[in-house]
Structure 1
Amino acid sequence: MDPHEFVIAHEKIPRGERRKVLLKIGKLYDNTEINIPVEVIRGKKPGPVLFVSAAIHGDELNGVEICKRLLDLRQLKELNGTLLVIPIVNVFGFNSLSRYLPDRRDLNRSFPGSPNGSLASRLAHIFMTEIVKKSTHGIDLHTGAVHRTNMPQIRAETDDPETLRLAHAFGISVIIKSNVRDGSLRQSGLEHKLPMLLFEGGEALRFEESVIKVALDGVLSVMHEIGMLDQLRKSRRPKSKPYIAKSSFWMRATRSGIVRTIGRIGQLVHKDEVIAVISDPYGDEIETVVARLEGIIIGALLLPVVHEGDALFHIATFEDPEKVEESLSDLDEYGL
């Protein structure tokens, strides 16, 4: 539960107050100060402390819009507990439309960080100290990389009962029990026993309305599940039955050239089914790429040119992939 007086960046925020707090993280070459803005919303009643963060990779923009719309909701006036919303964690990368920090380090490989390390390490340390360690739950919003798109999905440590409860509450079809990466925010959250979800949806440098709507509904559903909201707004999106993937794997280009992708996001593909055709620019030396196993396509390359070994499709395997595909097709009429 949140304390009566919540302290962040040396500011004391009582219950029932909403305030924007700036986490100081450094300066530019010209001495301009750089801060991470955090919107702190405290309900009048005690409850969980949830952080919702976006743009740890500075070019992943869907999460920024999700956070903005979350902050605009009137429902937050009836909040129980404390909500910390951080629309832009990697402010350096966001302002340069880059995944990385100025030193080319990946912030999401730099946690838990250090007060005396690199720029990425220091930023990670500040985020851990001021946000993660003061929270009871977390949701981190991501997209695919540049020229790659991800179907809306949750990545979580499903062996933890509380995290699994959050994943089910989010209400989308695909949950991936993915291995945590060294230095990731999710790894540090696990080490602090923080129930945390990572949402993936869409591609970098884009606003995608369907992804934004799905994720916003999911965040609100989680808040309702943990008692931060007593009522949910009406949504025209039917809540999906979640399915936990058994595993996932990448299908890669077998040669360099021009690729024509046949598989699509959300499609069930069978073992040995042709999912892409690669040729040289003259139409010669054609090769086909076939699915290694049966599964659902949850991520895809959007570029038509590839080098040998480039990732083409991310495929997740399930106990009953037909039911997963059916669940996904039920959402097509909603543009989701």
Structure 2
Amino acid sequence: MARLKPNQPFELLGSTVQPGQRMEIELQAAQLYTHSPLSIPIEIIHGRQAGPTLMVNAAIHGDELNGVEIARQLTNAIDPKKLKGTLIVVPIVNVFGFIHKSRYLPDRRDLNRCFPGSEKGSLTSRIAHTFFENVAKHCDFILDLHTGAIHRTNLPQIRANLSNPETMRIAKAFATPVIIDSPLRDGSLRSEAEKLGIPVLTYEGGEALRFDHLAIRADYLGIHQVMKEIGMLRPNRKKLPEPVLSKSTSWIRAESDGILRNMVRLGEQVEAGQTLAYISSPLGHQESQVITTKGGIVIGQQTLPLVNEGDAVFHIAYFKQDDEEVGQTVESYIEEVAEDDWLTTLNN
């Protein structure tokens, strides 16, 4: 039996964490008007044995809260004495947005369009630079946790650059029901990290400003599955259903204004020509339908029942496989993730 390689002390932001220990540190990001410092909280969990460095970060968009809860659960669950490598957990990257329950920073910029940032740029660009240079670029893998925007919810899904074999490997290990081969977007954390050879998964699940039980549980399980795949945790025998790869996605938009009544749910298989929703006038005398032109799976939808013409109301994913087969995979996944015994088997 091969001897396990002991770990070395881990250094970040001037702090040193000994093997088998954990430490909370802060990265000063900016100041408030009052000159009170505003810091990004970070927890480092440093394993006894050598292994990769994984960062799990949330709330790059300050109103996306599921990842904050996932980070809390994760830090409480991981025992550094049973860990190989180093886990860096950043529950709130966009502290300004989190405080104000906003996607954006005070300069109205999107932090996930400003990486790698600049020391002399806008406030958002400076925070992006501080976080990227001091934390993100020192990792071997990154899991970037997101939700849908306000009034929009997402089925648990992974978005990743699947042309990178390492990214594909961990995307399959994460095992959300749907994996989307998503082009790298300029200024995103995913794009800039991949330029440095760091595989990144973007997880999407649930809705802004809401806790979503399924999305939180799916992400928690997925992170553990990735950690087992890259050798940070001991593997277990139980597996989630095999995920399916989406060949493309599209949004279906409202063709009229009014009150929306959804007829389908997240994860549901839909057929070409199917009515997804009705849009009616307040008294109901005028009514139109939202109809899909192609079969697929609903992976996102608007939750606000008030719509304007042109609003994106349903996000549909399309697959090479038979839609009914994919629908069964998604349904099986939701049933599996809802099982209580998953949490007890994670670390067995």
Quickly name the TM-score band, shorter chain normalised: over 0.9
Q: Secondary structure at the match of 2:290?
A: strand
Alignment correspondent of 2:324: 322
Equivalent-residue separation in structure 1 for 2:80 and 2:9 (angstroms): 18
Alignment correspondent of 1:279: 280
Partner AA of 1:325 in structure 2: G
> Greater CA deviation, 60-69 or 261-270?
261-270
Alignment correspondent of 1:208: 212
Corresponding residue to 1:86 among 61, 72, 90: 90
Partner AA of 1:89 in structure 2: V
Q: Secondary structure at the match of 2:219?
A: helix
Q: Secondary structure at the match of 2:186?
A: coil
Closer/same/farther in 2, CA of residues 331 and 169 from structure 1, 3 Å limit: closer
Corresponding residue to 1:21 among 14, 22, 25: 25
Closer/same/farther in 2, CA of residues 3 and 124 from structure 1, 3 Å limit: farther
Contact 1:2 1:48 in 2 (8 A): no
Deviations 1:261-287 (A, max 9, x none): 212211111112111211222323322
Equivalent-residue separation in structure 1 for 2:135 and 2:115 (angstroms): 13
Asked if 1:112 corresponds to 2:116, the answer is yes
How many Å apart are 1:335 and its aligned residue? 6.7
How many Å apart are 1:50 and its aligned residue? 0.3
TM-score by length of 2: 0.91
Equivalent-residue separation in structure 1 for 2:12 and 2:159 (angstroms): 28
Alignment correspondent of 1:222: 226
Alignment correspondent of 1:176: 180
Contact 2:64 2:209 in 1 (8 A): yes
Alignment of 1:1-336 (within 5 A): 4-232=8-236, 239-320=240-321, 321-333=323-335, 336=338
Equivalent-residue separation in structure 1 for 2:273 and 2:218 (angstroms): 32
Equivalent-residue separation in structure 1 for 2:59 and 2:9 (angstroms): 28
Closer/same/farther in 2, CA of residues 190 and 333 from structure 1, 3 Å limit: closer
Partner AA of 2:245 in structure 1: I
Contact 1:2 1:81 in 2 (8 A): no
Alignment correspondent of 2:341: none
TM-score by length of 1: 0.94
Contact 1:2 1:49 in 2 (8 A): no
Alignment correspondent of 2:343: none
Q: Secondary structure at the match of 1:246?
A: strand
Equivalent-residue separation in structure 2 for 1:322 and 1:116 (angstroms): 53
Structure 2 gap segments, 5+ residues each:
339-348
Q: Secondary structure at the match of 1:186?
A: helix
Q: Secondary structure at the match of 1:41?
A: strand
Contact 1:2 1:82 in 2 (8 A): no
Deviations 1:124-171 (A, max 9, x none): 111111222100001011111111100000111111110011011112
Equivalent-residue separation in structure 2 for 1:196 and 1:179 (angstroms): 12
Structure 1 gap segments, 5+ residues each:
none
Contact 2:159 2:182 in 1 (8 A): yes
> Greater CA deviation, 85-94 or 207-216?
207-216
How many Å apart are 1:7 and its aligned residue? 2.5
Q: Secondary structure at the match of 1:172?
A: coil
Deviations 1:71-115 (A, max 9, x none): 001544311111100001111111111111111111111111011
Equivalent-residue separation in structure 2 for 1:119 and 1:99 (angstroms): 15
Contact 1:51 1:137 in 2 (8 A): yes
Equivalent-residue separation in structure 1 for 2:11 and 2:19 (angstroms): 11
> Greater CA deviation, 141-150 or 287-296?
287-296
Pairwise CA RMSD of aligned residues? 1.9
Contact 1:145 1:204 in 2 (8 A): yes
How many Å apart are 1:219 and its aligned residue? 0.2
Partner AA of 2:152 in structure 1: R
Contact 1:272 1:291 in 2 (8 A): yes
> Greater CA deviation, 175-184 or 220-229?
175-184
Q: Secondary structure at the match of 2:264?
A: coil
Partner AA of 2:171 in structure 1: A
Partner AA of 2:330 in structure 1: L
Contact 1:251 1:292 in 2 (8 A): no
Partner AA of 1:330 in structure 2: S
Equivalent-residue separation in structure 1 for 2:285 and 2:80 (angstroms): 59
Contact 2:27 2:39 in 1 (8 A): yes
How many Å apart are 1:185 and its aligned residue? 0.9
Closer/same/farther in 2, CA of residues 74 and 177 from structure 1, 3 Å limit: closer
Alignment correspondent of 2:344: none
